[in-house]
Amino acid sequence: MPAPLLTLQDVRLTIGTSPLLDGAELFVEPGDRICLVGRNGSGKSTLLKIAAGMLEPDAGRRFAQPGATIRYLPQEPDLSGYPDAFHYVAAGLSPGDGEARAHYLLGKLGLTGEEDVTTLSGGQARRAALARVLAPRPDILLLDEPTNHLDLPAIEWLQEELESMPGALVLISHDRRFLTDLSRATIWLDRGKTRRTDRGFGIFESWRDQLLEEEERDRQKLNRKIAAEEHWVRYGVTARRKRNVRRMAGLAELRQQKREARRQLGQVNFQVSEAANAGTRVIEANNISKAYGDKQVVKDFSTRILRGDRIGLIGANGAGKTTLLNLLTGRLKPDSGFVQLGTNLVLVNLDQTRTLLDSTASLKEVLTDGRGDRVEVGGEWRHVTSYMKDFLFTPEQAGTSVNVLSGGERARLLLAKVLAKPGNLLVLDEPTNDLDLETLDLLEEMIDDYPGTVLLVSHDRDFLDRTVTAVLFAEGNGSFTEYAGGYSDMMAQRGGGVEATRLEKAEKKEKAVPRVKADAPKRKLSFNEKHALEKLPGEIDKLTAQIDKLQSQLNDPKAYQDSKKFAELTAALGKAEAERSAAEDRWLELEALREELEGK
């Protein structure tokens, strides 16, 4: 086995009085594809910062192989000190790398490189930071929520880029599809400790549930043992003045174990406040159009939305999704056509910019609007600390200022504020940003159970598949097409997902004045594509040999005598066959591309 490029052992870090990391570990070998998962506030970003060498733990060991290139993408990058985005990205290149790499990455992420870093939005800054860490093709890439603020074409491009990257990857993300497609190992950070399985994210939830069930069984055994010892203490020594000192010490130790056990955090409890039912017809749009100057944002769009519909709006950034959303909800008037809203509509809006949150206010002030210590939820008054617990906030956090909360905690606080308001038309603009996977599960259930109508803007493909009944896709030039079902259904009907939009953007980039020489050569295979084309046949041969070995083991009658071993062999065989199929498909795709390019 190759030596790990990066090692974290027995890492410990305490913030305040509570241990955030309590013996966490991370081993990264060449070519690893690791996803790091856990609750908001569990310490994932902190562990990644320690891995990057940016944060010193209280205890533990960090070792990186000399000469290994490590790049880290933070959630909030600092671009200060650079005149423009290009110079910021170029500063991340390795010696010998050409500037064309920086231009290529910036273009793919929707930037020109000429942007003043002091005027970049948060999303633009993160895209520039992503280009910077990708630029040198590092040995280890540490990514903290890389898909936040990316649109679907950019997410699909980034996934392809990372799949072809030869280096190792450690990834934090709330995007299930992204994690499932990219990871081959999963590390779960829970209550300060890490647990690892050398399988991708697709099995995480079943694996986690199995571990929690085993933990609960162990806890029940401990409780029974404590009860038995307490019974002996109370009733087994009535005739003796002196108790058995050793047994009493053992009971004290058991009690201490129970006190110190850091249980899995509770679940978020979503309770949606309902307004009176709206009419059957919620929104009807007839040939609506909207333009800003010469740019047609929405063109001749018509739809009818009924009570109970869950509509997802999908498309590239700047394609007009927010404009269409504002037109459909009556917050913006069309240039032509008309929108008719149904009766008794009460709109509740979740704004991805977090504008509903005053950063200087406390959690209690945000939830009560600064009026006392009670909040109205579903027509009933509740104490604010009780309501906070539903969203995993402790009573001690009631006076905490918003500006010290993590991104995930702010997302939960905003959900708590929005969902307390009564409504029957729920508008969610990128609600999945910064939410952990458990909270996402419950948000999906809430949307499914919501009696009203939901309009949803999201770039999270798995979330869309789980929640919406129809998709409005921005085709470009103001055109929107409606598809039944979720994201995967749209892809099946289109036959190409968001490829058309990505190609359209690429054509626009070609027409723009480039900062590289105008007589650039024709398209050739990229470094990553060449590397993959050379490497894949060997990987396919190794997987074939692995499949033959596993099949031989399964053909042995003794394999059926151990059900656990048989299940492990069967799972390994299925995984190897899937990986070989994917590798063969990728090689055929690259070989066809090579022949096409060489034939020009």
Distances (CA, A) of 398 to 2, 149, 363: 49, 29, 5
* DSSP structure class, residue 277: P
Would the annotation count 321 as a binding residue? yes
Give me 23's structure tokens: 């013996």
For the record, the structure tokens of 122 come out as 């948060």
Query: Residue 256 CB: number of other CB atoms within 10 A?
Result: 10
Locate tokens 């740019």: which residue? 295
308 annotated ligand binder: no
| Residue 44 in marked binding region | yes
316 is in an annotated binding site: yes
372 is in an annotated binding site: no
Q: With H, G, I as helix, E, B as strand and everything else as coil, classify residue 170.
A: strand
| Residue 252, annotated as binding a ligand | no
Q: CA 311, CA 490: separation in Å to the nearest integer?
A: 13
Q: Distances in Å between the alpha carbon of 516 and those of 100, 151, 521?
A: 7, 26, 11
38 is in an annotated binding site: yes
What phi and psi values does residue 436 have, to the nearest 5 degrees? -75, 170
Q: Which two tokens stand for residue 389?
A: 């617990």
Query: Which residues, in sequence order, are CB contacts of 295 under 8 Å at separation 6+?
Result: none
Residue partners of 230: CB distance under 8 A and separation at least 6: 251
Asked whether residue 386 is marked as a ligand-binding residue, the answer is no
Count CB atoms within 10 A of the CB of residue 294.
Answer: 5
Burial class (CB in 10 A: 0-12, 13-18, 19+), 376: middle
Is residue 30 within 8 A of residue 165, CB to CB? The reply is no
Handedness of CA 469, 474, 478, 482 (dihedral sign): negative
**41 annotated ligand-binding residue:** yes
Question: Does 555 carry a binding-site annotation?
Answer: no
Q: Is 244 annotated as a binding residue?
A: no
**Partners of 362 in the β-ladder:** 401
Is 242 part of any known ligand binding site? no
Structure tokens at 152: 């679907």
Give the residue numbers of the binding site for ATP: 38-45, 315-322
Give the residue numbers of the binding site: 38-45, 315-322
